[in-house]
Structure 1
Amino acid sequence: MTDILTIARARVLDEGRGLDREQALECLRLPGERLGELLALAHEVRMKWCGPEVEVEGIVSVKTGGCPEDCHFCSQSGRFSSPVRAVWLDLDELVRAAEETAATGATEFCIVAAVRGPDRRLMDQVRQGVEAIHRAVDINVACSLGMLTQEQVDELAAMGVHRYNHNLETARSHFGEVVTTHTWQERWDTCLMVRAAGMELCCGGIVGMGETLEQRAEFAVQLGELEPDEVPLNFLNPRPGTPFAGHPVVEGADALRTIATFRLALPRTILRYAGGREITLGDLGTREGMLGGINAIIVGNYLTTLGRPPARDLELLDELRMPIKALSRTL
């Protein structure tokens, strides 16, 4: 039987084809003594098919808390007893956050709202925000506003929104254990509309929500089928008051194994460090992930949790001699 890393080297590194589900599962099951080999191969794949550049992004929530959905990991749901309550960000604060993000060298700034989908008020506020940001600073603007109609997709594209984030969150077979107020298919449909409208698609999820390794492999391959431009990889940070508050934090070795496997399943995709890496991996693990397939990073804080200071991440990229991707307008 041919070794899985030999198969991956030929299929992914040489040919640029992502792993299938069974191959991804084999990588997720590799023993600890082979983790270094897996990470090294993932780094080779990243360098060959994506290059050395790292895309840096900042995010800010224009509407925090009070969401009607029951995503079990999320402290912004209005259905749970978590301490996050509904807050709206004003236009000046939004522009100031975009300026601070651009000052780090970031090329992407993402406007996020905790909603099922945007209403007219939110769409108007986003339009004003996008226009004000573009007047103030040279940065690509992305949005994450929940599920969309075709009309809303077209409106965001016409505004000049560069990229839209809508995570599948987990494998289709596990989704019902995570969310019950909407379906995996609804999320998938929004993603397809975003791609068809010409916006870049950012679509990933969260590792560590009780899924099996088989479902983790399933998720990686389903993302590959969708072909997003970017996959944000989060690790569950159990939030007080949510149904997943008691879930254990993903162990560092498992997190690194997952990072490398997702790179081998998605060889040409921007694979971004997102929430939870600080508690799952710490400083040393963050470095290992950057050398194991990651080629993008969110700097600063997340929506309701603290991240690493931007300067520490930028210093790490400089130390690793990984240049920050330059700004390039695509719309």
Structure 2
Amino acid sequence: MNTTELPEVFERARQLALEKGEGLKEADLIEIMKLEERFIPEILKLAHEVRLRWCGEEVEVEGIISLKTGGCPEDCHFCSQSGRFESPVRSVNLDIAELIEAAKQTAKTGATEFCIVAAVKGPDERLMRQVEDAIAAIQAEVDINVAVSIGILTWEQVKRLKAAGAHRYNHNLETARSYFPKVVSTHSWESRRETLELIREAGLEVCSGGILGMGESIEQRAEFAVQLAEVEPEEVPMNFLDPRPGTPLENQELLSSADALRAIAAFRMAMPKTTLRFAGGRELTLGDDGAEQGLLGGMNAIIVGNYLTTLGRPMEKDLDMLGKIQLPIKALTHTI
């Protein structure tokens, strides 16, 4: 396609995101997410150039496992782990030995990150001690970075996780500030943002993303991208809603693959230097070919295996896909 045929937003994206490494603002992101379908291959190509320029060609691979699944007291409308909904997930606890084994299996795939997750609003003392013990045990036996995601934290809890050796903390903003009350009422968007500020202050890496396709508008997706950029996260997990039975969003229509691809490109343009990680829902929304398009259109990380409450693809298939499209896996790094 002749570049003279492209909308002007392409040139602004080249000048800011590609040449300077600066994120685009809401108006340009909205325009990208409203592009005609014939422009999608071109915007994905440009997004890929941006990620190669500022992040390199390697793909970061991560496995996740839940220390405590189900029974959460919050009412996040997208989540089957909430104890408030008639959803099939019920509380399960894993012991330390199981976590170590899961970390070993994750490391065998070439993954650089292993994330311990618990479905809670925030950790009590028992859970804090479990997580501290788990980090120590994993680091003693497995050469892999350990990330944690256990809800809203106090400053004291943040310092303890840092001292225990946590490498990164995940706490998703989930959606735009303006849309958050539509999907969560038991805590605020601001409380999530405050936890991220504590994490940053303590020197832990910040991981924060969310879910697209919960009924938000394109304008709110652009708002969300800019709000994430303001947090300056090292990593942004991008989930696409997989409607869970028994949750308030069980009948929500899936995001189209075209809208998902536009969003991937827009988020890369909003955060040129950030790790964008494919997470839950990509199989339903994008399928195999769509996942490949995303990884050649701005994404530079992927969760392999199953997610917290939904099935992903077998790890081997994702690793084969990376080989097929000739994207190298980032080498393992040791947590210090």
- 1:146 to 2:151 alignment: yes
Q: How far 1:27 sits from its partner (Å)?
A: 0.4
Cα distance change on mapping 1:260 and 1:2 into 2, 3 Å: closer
**Pairs within 5 Å for 1:13-32:** 13-32=18-37
CA distance in 1, matches of 2:291, 2:195: 31
Q: How far 1:327 sits from its partner (Å)?
A: 2.2
CA distance in 2, matches of 1:326, 1:158: 25
- The residue type equivalent to 1:298 in the other structure is I
Q: How far 1:51 sits from its partner (Å)?
A: 0.4
Q: How far 1:330 sits from its partner (Å)?
A: 5.7
Q: Which residue of 2 aligns with 1:285?
A: 290
Q: How far 1:328 sits from its partner (Å)?
A: 2.5
Q: Which residue of 2 aligns with 1:125?
A: 130
Q: Deviations over 1:224-243 (max 9, x none)?
A: 11100000000000000000
Q: Deviations over 1:289-319 (max 9, x none)?
A: 0000000000000001000111111111112
**Pairs within 5 Å for 1:216-255:** 216-255=221-260
- 1:110 to 2:115 alignment: yes
- 1:61 to 2:91 alignment: no
Any conservation in 1 of the 2:66–2:94 contact (CA below 8 Å)? yes
CA distance in 2, matches of 1:117, 1:327: 30
- The residue type equivalent to 1:180 in the other structure is S
Q: Deviations over 1:64-121 (max 9, x none)?
A: 0000000000000000000111111111111111010001000100000000000000
- 1:275 to 2:280 alignment: yes
- 1:322 to 2:327 alignment: yes
- The residue type equivalent to 2:237 in the other structure is P
CA distance in 1, matches of 2:115, 2:7: 43
CA distance in 2, matches of 1:319, 1:85: 38
Q: Is there any run of 5+ residues in structure 1 with no aligned partner, and where?
A: none
CA distance in 1, matches of 2:261, 2:305: 21
CA distance in 1, matches of 2:209, 2:89: 23
Q: Which of the residues 173, 176, 179 maps onto 2:178?
A: 173
Q: Which residue of 1 aligns with 2:8?
A: 3
CA distance in 2, matches of 1:109, 1:43: 26
CA distance in 2, matches of 1:230, 1:57: 12
Aligned residues: 331
SS across alignment from 2:114: strand
Runs of 4+ aligned residues of structure 1 deviating over 2 Å after TM superposition are: 327-331
Q: How far 1:329 sits from its partner (Å)?
A: 3.8
TM-score w.r.t. structure 2 length? 0.97
**Pairs within 5 Å for 1:203-218:** 203-218=208-223
- The residue type equivalent to 1:135 in the other structure is A
Q: Which residue of 2 aligns with 1:198?
A: 203
Q: How far 1:127 sits from its partner (Å)?
A: 1.0
Q: Deviations over 1:135-171 (max 9, x none)?
A: 1111000000000000000000000000000000000
Q: How far 1:323 sits from its partner (Å)?
A: 1.1
- The residue type equivalent to 2:62 in the other structure is E
**Pairs within 5 Å for 1:254-269:** 254-269=259-274
CA distance in 2, matches of 1:249, 1:235: 8
**Pairs within 5 Å for 1:45-124:** 45-124=50-129
- The residue type equivalent to 1:264 in the other structure is M
Q: Which residue of 1 aligns with 2:163?
A: 158
CA distance in 2, matches of 1:278, 1:191: 29
Q: How far 1:13 sits from its partner (Å)?
A: 0.4
Any conservation in 1 of the 2:211–2:240 contact (CA below 8 Å)? yes
Any conservation in 1 of the 2:144–2:335 contact (CA below 8 Å)? no
Q: How far 1:201 sits from its partner (Å)?
A: 0.5
CA distance in 1, matches of 2:266, 2:245: 30
Q: Which of the residues 299, 308, 324 maps onto 1:303?
A: 308
CA distance in 2, matches of 1:154, 1:321: 40
